[in-house]
Chains A and B, each alone.
Chain A
Amino acid sequence: MSGIILETKGLTKHYGGVHALEDADFILRRGEHVAIMGDNGAGKSTFVRQITGVEQRTRGTVIFDGQEVNFAGPLDAREAGIETVFQTLALADDLNVPDNLFLGREATKWNFLGPFRILDYKAMRESTMAGLVKTGVKIPNIRNSIANMSGGQRQCVAIARTATFASKLTIMDEPTAALGVQETAQVENIVRTLKEQGESLILVSHNMRQVFDLVDRIIVFRRGRMVADLDVKETDGQDVVAYITGAKTGAQFEGAA
């Protein structure tokens, strides 16, 4: 087993004429927590979508857990061990908490029935309880449809989903953007728990304090390109802002932007 959990080489995504992501060379070590920062439209979510198989990349390679991967869809990525909280919440409002947690990978019985295989509600409820307790997420009743929950609670459900399933890599795209102070602290605690458990994490965030609190390394994107790769111990907020706005560009990325 190598020490690198995820590596991308020349990862590129064009939407028609829009060069949303250009030649991203990225490395994430096992157990490492890395933040991706950058202005709106810098290509952060695009980068996440290419890794997780939500979209098909224009070119480049993705190496996950020592193997080159070509995920056909998000389920493939999940099965390989990548859990993602997408920026646009991937939750179904009319379903309750366990249904949402297990959406797309339900616990089932009688699998010979194909699409009509039977749901194992009890197992899903129990894992949900365990997952929520583990992450400290507060929800009045897991059997209510999540339509009636607050934005923060829904966000917590989405995050609990990633924490419930053992994974090799967790990706969170702006998980605290819509949260109150308490919920943000809670999400940050979940992230710390993941760190203690030695799980690797990519955190997309605009929150400078949060990033400096939680991660080991900061990657800055600007107009679709990676422009900096900074150790948090050797940088500060002003420095990062300079990279985000384009006042500075990392030495190894000269000529990139």
Chain B
Amino acid sequence: MSDTSHGIGGLTYDKSKRQWPNELNVLGALILIVIIFEVLGAIFMGQSLLFDTKDRFDSIFNEQRLRIIIIQVAIVGIIALGVTQVIITAGIDLSSGSVLGATAMIAMSFAQVSVVNGNPNPKAIFGPAFLDLPVIVPIFVGLGCGLLAGMINGILVAFSRIPPFIATLGMMLFARGVAQWWSSGKPVSFPTDSYAVIGAGMMPVIIFLSLAVLFHLIMNYTVYGKHTYAIGSNEAAARMSGINVPRHLVLVYAIAGMLAGLSAVILTSKNLTAQSGMGLSYELDAIAMAVIGGVSLFGGRGSIIGTVIGALIIGVITSGFTFLRLGAYYQEMVLGCIIVGAVALDQWQQQRAARRA
């Protein structure tokens, strides 16, 4: 049996059969959306959305707007990095926004200063022993809270037969309750200077992009990433191949929870206050970023790069509508259409692929 006409063991490499990376489609969509806004901007506003049309020679881009676009998606983007991994396992995480809320309240309580303008901190949650703590304490508390919530999600999904939708819906309600119970609804404010640095300026963006690179590498080059895709692709096969599926799922949900905890730290640091309503519907924004970025809700397919581009698409649309002075309601209508369109496109591509097989 040494018929080489089909190529044995991939020895003949037929380039026409190489698969087109889905990220390129998403990138194409991003470029298309930018072009649409540029055209609309030129027609209705007489100016460009992203490019510098004035006679400054430092750069061709309108850096200020680019910065705004990426800052406004960075914090939800961090959540989306975790949600992406969860969705790739064919799961879902509805709890991240509420986990952010609860973690914000708890972590901020460990980040407060003792003295504000010469008076004792009026918003202090704990006694003096817990004020002016080193910045590492609230960071660890924040990551720990997120990790704990994520682990509980993971344990519920992996060891009981509760579907991820319900398990994380429960966590969503529970964590929001914790956020409101923590200080009976009062905001927690006045963090230490060192805490305030974490989310200041471009820090959220730097953290978001660093984590995106890190998780891109992890998803593509480590056993963790491979098993995450394998479980989402065919859970029974993963189990039969000897992967410890429950343990892996707990790890994936724990990482997602920890990223929600981290974004709570960054957001409270950026805003210098924590409120129980923080992170409301962030989970849906994060899921939207992933879905627009080509992550399949059926599991097994999608990538961190896709989600980052998905986040940028949402950022451009949000900024674009503000730029065109159109109300936020138009923006939400358009986003809704884009999400449905993205999933419809994904379905269509999958069916086409199935027909070819």
A residues contacting B by CB (< 8 A) are: 54, 73-76, 78, 86, 88-95, 97, 99, 103-106, 108, 113, 115-119, 121, 128-133, 136-145, 147-150, 185-186, 189
A-B residue pair count with CB separations less than 8 angstroms: 139
Partner of A103, one of B2, B222, B230: B230
Q: With A and B bound together, what is the CA distance between A193 and B221 in angstroms?
A: 34
**Sampled A-B contacts (14; CB under 8 Å):** A90-B237, A92-B230, A92-B233, A94-B301, A103-B230, A106-B223, A106-B226, A129-B9, A138-B6, A140-B14, A141-B17, A142-B10, A147-B353, A147-B354
Q: With A and B bound together, what is the CA distance between A95 and B229 in angstroms?
A: 8
B7 contacts partner chain A, Cβ-Cβ < 8 Å = yes
Partner of B222, one of A97, A99, A118, A131: A118
B191 contacts partner chain A, Cβ-Cβ < 8 Å = no
Smallest beta-carbon distance A96→chain B, Å:
9
Across the interface, name the chain B residue whose C-beta is closest to A76: B242
Q: With A and B bound together, what is the CA distance between A130 and B8 in angstroms?
A: 10
Q: With A and B bound together, what is the CA distance between A95 and B238 in angstroms?
A: 11
B contact residues around A92 at 8 Å (CB):
229-230, 233-234, 237-238, 300
A contact residues around B61 at 8 Å (CB):
none
5 more contacts with CB within 8 A, not counting A78-B242, A92-B237, A103-B238, are A92-B233, A93-B234, A116-B222, A141-B10, A141-B13
Kindly name the residue among B2, B230, B301 whose own CB sees the greatest number of chain A CB atoms within 10 A.
B230
Smallest beta-carbon distance B215→chain A, Å:
11
Across the interface, name the chain A residue whose C-beta is closest to B15: A141
B240 contacts partner chain A, Cβ-Cβ < 8 Å = yes
Q: Kindly state the interface size class of chain B when it binds its partner.
A: 35 or more
B55 contacts partner chain A, Cβ-Cβ < 8 Å = no
Smallest beta-carbon distance A87→chain B, Å:
11
Smallest beta-carbon distance A89→chain B, Å:
7
B contact residues around A93 at 8 Å (CB):
233-234, 300
A contact residues around B300 at 8 Å (CB):
92-94
Mark contacts of B333-357 with chain A using CB atoms, 8 A cut-off: 1 yes-contact digit, 0 otherwise. Answer: 0000000000000000000011011
Kindly name the residue among A104, A119, A130, A145 whose own CB sees the greatest number of chain B CB atoms within 10 A.
A104
